[in-house]
């Protein structure tokens, strides 16, 4: 199963997803609601931090893209 990330299947159309990254100048987080204030994501209650990098570096998280469905699946493990 070493190459399973190479052919990640889209959960919607089962087509091949493109491996890449979501990149940001700030830390990336899933948040339960959008905050109007730009604050450090780890300060938001119930947020899930997706990128591990310091907030002073460019953050990235593994992402799989389906251009057909316009979906992105993130892997923040
Ligand atoms: Zn798809």
Q: What is the pLDDT of residues 3-15, one digit of tens each?
A: 444 678 999 999 9
CA–centroid distance, 2 to ligand 1, in Å, is 23
CA–centroid distance, 11 to ligand 1, in Å, is 7
CA–centroid distance, 65 to ligand 1, in Å, is 8
The mean pLDDT of the chain is 83
Task: State the pLDDT at residue 7.
Answer: 78
pTM: 0.73
Q: What is the pLDDT of residues 53-74, one digit of tens each?
A: 665 678 889 999 999 999 999 9
Q: What is the pLDDT of residues 30-53, one digit of tens each?
A: 988 887 776 776 777 888 888 876
Neighbours of ion ligand 1 (CB under 5 A): 10, 12-13, 15, 66, 68-69
Please spell the DSSP secondary structure of 20-42, one letter per residue.
EEEEESS--EE-SS--SS---GG
Domain ranges across the chain? 4-75
Separation between Cα atoms, residue 71 and residue 11, nearest integer Å: 9
CA–centroid distance, 74 to ligand 1, in Å, is 14
């Amino acid at each position: 199963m070493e190459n399973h990330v190479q052919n990640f299947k889209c959960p919607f159309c089962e087509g091949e997803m493109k491996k890449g990254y979501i990149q940001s100048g700030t830390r990336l987080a899933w948040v339960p609601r959008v905050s109007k204030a730009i604050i450090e994501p780890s300060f938001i209650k119930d947020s899930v931090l997706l990128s591990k990098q310091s907030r002073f570096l460019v953050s990235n998280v593994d992402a799989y893209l389906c251009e057909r469905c316009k979906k992105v699946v993130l892997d923040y493990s």
